[in-house]
Amino acid sequence: MISRRTFNTAALLSLAGAAMPALGQKKTPKKLRVTVASGHPPVFLWVKLLDDFLIPEIDRRLEAAGGDYQIEWTKAWGGTLIKLGAESKGIADGIADIGYVSTIFEAPNFPLQNISYHLPFTTSDIGIITNIMDKLQEDIPAVGDAWTKNGLVYLGSSALDSYQLFTNFSFESVDDLKGKKIAIPGPTGNWFHGTGSVGVPGTLNTYYEDIKSGVSQGVPIFATGGWGAKVFEVAPHLTLTNFGSQYAGGIAFGKRRFEKLPPEVQAIFKEVGSEYSRRFTKAQTDATAEVIRKMKEAGTQVKELPEAERVRWANLLPSTGTSWAKEMEAKGLPGNKVLEGFMAELKRAGVNVPRDWANT
């Protein structure tokens, strides 16, 4: 006869034995499908960093957090899913879940984000411009709310290295622009008012062929973009005008889709988005000097516009800053507050601007 004690011991051992294989098994993570997209190809750093850093870093942090969730990524670069300039709507509508939104090409949706393009000849320091825009988005509700109003959750930002002038003709002074066809993406046309140049539309995806075919003869573009799009091959004269680093956009997640993610996954996306901003600033800064060196080696004629000519050019332009602020105010947006805040932050950072755009 089996005693109650013997029976209980045997039962417990049996249960323990049955549980042991389960304890040794690795948990099965819950799969989350996420599509990431951009209108630009990964030859450009802001897209490349999504692929090389953001995606693997989110995967790493999810695994380190316990592996409860695993993302199955679908990547769609170069406008294969969402065209350039339509990223915010495509992400908000769920065509993609997350992506890079180029605010420069979406001025109607992000009017206040484009302020730096109305204040030329400021600073080449990418970090300063990034920090100013992040501060404005935090301190002035109308700036930060643009993302929410467009159905997005803002995760991280990027500013581009200083815009310079690439031309297929020798450029010595602003007078050389008279009669020349210059590609002007978005609000950069403000930098050429009064110069006698002829503005034609264009984007990073079209500059090369446009200049090669004669549609345009030059373009103001950041050096790393000129390298990535091979503009230097058809416009071998690079004049370092230092129009200034410009806020270009940021990473955004569709709001409806983001709110359905588990809170711990949301937190990781936000953390990695902030880290993306810091890494992009450093990588873009490091890349700028390198690509200028490479372009020189490739035969590009590189020269710096004299400071006196830079000041002359700045003072030749109309009141781009105050005009922009007035336009924003007419739309019920705090243009004056944003303009004054931007200029105050430049001054606080020790930047000497050749013209006070808030008062002239």
**161 domain residue, yes or no:** yes
- pTM of the complete model: 0.86
How many domains in the chain?
1
**6 domain residue, yes or no:** no
Name the DSSP letter for residue 26.
P
**Residues 35, 74: contact at Cβ < 8 Å?**
yes
For position 116, what pLDDT does the model report? 95
55: domain CATH number is: 3.40.190.170
**285 domain residue, yes or no:** yes
Neighbours of 298 (CB within 10 A): 12
Separation between Cα atoms, residue 263 and residue 111, nearest integer Å: 31
Separation between Cα atoms, residue 351 and residue 275, nearest integer Å: 25
Q: Which residues contact 291 (CB under 8 A, 6 or more apart)?
A: 223, 224, 226, 227
Helices and strands in the chain, H and E counts: 14, 9
**3 domain residue, yes or no:** no
In the structure encoding, which two tokens stand for residue 72, read together?
Answer: 């199955």
Kindly list the distances between the CA atom of residue 328 and the CA atoms of 110, 150, 338, in Å, as whole numbers in the listed order: 11, 18, 10
* Local structure of 3: helix, strand or coil: coil
Parent domain of 220: 30-348
Is the dihedral angle over the CA atoms 200, 181, 306, 294 positive or is it negative?
positive
Q: Which residues contact 167 (CB under 8 A, 6 or more apart)?
A: 180, 217, 218, 235, 237, 239
Separation between Cα atoms, residue 78 and residue 347, nearest integer Å: 38
Neighbours of 126 (CB within 10 A): 24
Name the DSSP letter for residue 206.
T
**Residues 181, 198: contact at Cβ < 8 Å?**
yes
**Residues 341, 139: contact at Cβ < 8 Å?**
yes
Q: Which residues contact 284 (CB under 8 A, 6 or more apart)?
A: 45, 126, 158, 159, 160, 161, 224
Q: What is the pLDDT along the chain (360 residues), one digit of tens a residue?
A: 444 444 454 444 444 444 444 444 567 999 999 999 999 999 889 999 999 999 999 999 999 999 999 999 999 999 999 999 999 999 999 999 999 999 988 999 999 999 999 999 999 999 999 999 999 999 999 999 999 999 999 999 999 999 999 999 999 999 999 999 999 877 888 899 999 999 999 888 899 999 999 999 999 999 999 999 999 999 999 999 999 999 999 999 999 999 999 999 999 999 999 999 999 999 999 999 999 999 999 999 999 999 999 999 999 999 999 999 999 999 999 999 999 999 999 999 999 999 999 988
Name the DSSP letter for residue 329.
H
For position 185, what pLDDT does the model report? 77
Residue with tokens 């549609």: 215
* Local structure of 14: helix, strand or coil: helix
**74 domain residue, yes or no:** yes
For position 5, what pLDDT does the model report? 46
Separation between Cα atoms, residue 228 and residue 172, nearest integer Å: 25
* Local structure of 278: helix, strand or coil: helix
For position 16, what pLDDT does the model report? 46
**17 domain residue, yes or no:** no
Residue with tokens 């605010």: 103
**159 domain residue, yes or no:** yes
Residue with tokens 């999504």: 50
For position 274, what pLDDT does the model report? 95
For position 10, what pLDDT does the model report? 46
**140 domain residue, yes or no:** yes
**Residues 145, 183: contact at Cβ < 8 Å?**
no
